Every structure is written in structure tokens, then in C-alpha cells.
Amino acid sequence: MTADTSWKLSATLTPRFLLGVLALLALVVVAGEAWAQLQVGGSRSGILATLWKWTPLLLVGPPREFGGFALNVAVSFLAMAIGTVGGLVLGLGLISHFVPLRRVSWLMTQFFRNSPWLVLLFFVMLLTPFQLRLLGLTIPLPAWLKATFGLSLPIMANVAEIVRGAVNSIPTAQWESAESLAFSRMQTLWRIILPQCVKRMIPPWMNWYCILTMSTPLISIVGVNDSMTLTQDALAAEQRTELLMPMYLMLLCFFFVYCYPIARWNIRLERKYAVRG
């Protein structure tokens, strides 16, 4: 079986398999609904009705307060943006001819790549103040903003490796050709090398965005009012053990519906921009 045939087979079977899994989970929820109604004799709201009641809260947070799954998405966007900018700078430092800069960049990359994300979150939350005073103005630093910066650190390190690998994958003949045309190293990077690296960096960059999004529930541990925190609050308010699995299943579905299309698109981009010898 060729690689192309294998990919087509996996692309055909994977959506069907996932739909089957979702159908099975839905069947479990419906069965739990029927069992709960038999146990309580219809005296309480059904599982589906309860899930529907809490859905707006889990999606956008309580009234006049931004939170829920929308906050998870916002944190993922902002952390990815910060990590991408920092990773580009750090990645260029990894390929610098200035030895001290290259060594510092390597140390930072290895440290943040190999540190647990949750530990980094706690360090950032504990080391940064609750507010800053700048030119007589008091600027608050909310918990979600500090958590966003904490998540951006490992992303920065991994984006730096993506940049380094993409730059090193460009044939050396292009560097030599640019040098023969009297281009400086910086001009060669910005005008010739990096534009070619963009297509090579997009698939792994998107893959790390999916990983980051699925890791955002970690911010609930440091006191951020995200979808995981609100799910736990809803369960505490209902005090019904039969809601435990359906509530977390609904939260899982939020992340799946958001991340799965990105993952499928990423597969297409990998095939489109694959480097062929």
C-alpha cells in the first residue's frame, strides 16, 4: 500500500470512526437520561434540559463577565500570538552567528520546551504582580492575562524550533546565490529565506495551536473563570451525580467541534506544502 493510498484510507475512515464515537456517547447520555428519570420519578429536570440550561454559561460565562469557552478561545488566540512573535525572535537567535546570542536563545528554548506547562503557569501567576503602576496610572493584571502569558512561554519555545528547522531546510545554494548578489545576511533572511519558510511553518504552527487550545483548561487550576471552572460550578450548584459525565462530555464536545476542523485543515496543508525531493 502506497503512502498516498494509506492517507486516503485514513482520511475516509477517521471521520466515520469519530462520528461513531460521538453517536455512542450520545446514546450513553440518552440512556443516562432515561435511568435518571426512572430513579427520581420525573420530579427533577432531565439531563438534556439541565445541559441546555447551563450551555450559555459554559459558552460565554455569567452575565456582564467574560468567561467560559469563549475565554478559552480568546486565551488560545492571544497566547499563540505572543508565542509566535517571541518564537520568531528566539528562532532567529538560534541561527545567529553571534555565539552568545545563539547560546542564550538555545538555553531559553530548551528550558521552556522541557518545562511542565502547569508549573510555568504557577510561576507566572506567583511572580507577576496583580497590578502595575506606569506614569501614575494603575494597570490591573487580571488572572486570565497572566495565565495567557504563562501559556505563551512553551509555545514561544516550540515556535522557535519550528523557525530554526524551517530556515535550515532551505537549500544552502539560496544563501550562496544571495551572497553572490551582495545581499547582507539580514536581507537574505527577510527577503529570500523567511518568505519560503512560511509554507513550511504553517502546518506545525497550526498543530501547536490545537495543542494550546486543548491545554487551556489548565488555567482553571490557577483561578481563571474558564469553561472548566464554570462546569465545576454548575455541577456544584446542581448536586446531581448523574450529571457528572454528561456535563464533562458537553465540555469535551465544545473543544472537539472547535479543534477538529482545524486538525483536518492542517492535514490538507501538510499534503499541499510537503517538501518533495
More confident residue, 134 or 99: 99
Which pLDDT does position 13 carry in this prediction?
44
Whole-angstrom Cα distance, residue 106 to residue 112? Answer: 10
Q: What is the mean pLDDT of residues 15-35?
A: 56
Across all residues in the chain, what is the average pLDDT?
83
CATH 3.90.850.10 applies to domain 45-129+138-272 = no
Q: What is the mean pLDDT of residues 1-10?
A: 42
182's grid cell: 551582495
More confident residue, 29 or 182: 182
Whole-angstrom Cα distance, residue 152 to residue 121? Answer: 10
Instruction: Say yes or no to pLDDT of 21 above 80.
Output: no
Which pLDDT does position 134 carry in this prediction?
77
Whole-angstrom Cα distance, residue 71 to residue 217? Answer: 10
Query: Is residue 105 within 8 Å of residue 96, measured between CB atoms?
Result: yes
Which pLDDT does position 170 carry in this prediction?
87
Residue that the C-alpha cell 484510507 belongs to: 9
Q: Which amino acid is at 225?
A: N
Which pLDDT does position 135 carry in this prediction?
77
Which pLDDT does position 109 carry in this prediction?
95
Which pLDDT does position 45 carry in this prediction?
63
Instruction: Say yes or no to pLDDT of 277 above 80.
Output: no
SS3 state of residue 234: helix
Which pLDDT does position 188 carry in this prediction?
87
Query: Is residue 162 within 8 Å of residue 219, measured between CB atoms?
Result: no
Q: What is the pLDDT of residues 137-192, one digit of tens each?
A: 888 888 899 999 999 999 999 999 999 999 998 888 888 888 888 888 888 888 88
CB contact set of 267 (below 8 Å; sequence gap of 6+): 11
Which pLDDT does position 5 carry in this prediction?
42
Instruction: Say yes or no to pLDDT of 268 above 90.
Output: no
- Phi/psi for 223 (5° steps) reads 90, 15
Instruction: Say yes or no to pLDDT of 111 above 80.
Output: yes
Which pLDDT does position 9 carry in this prediction?
39
Exposure of 203 by Cβ count < 10 A (0-12 exposed, 13-18 middle, 19+ buried)?
buried
Q: What is the pLDDT of residues 32-74, one digit of tens each?
A: 555 554 454 444 567 788 888 889 989 988 888 888 999 999 9
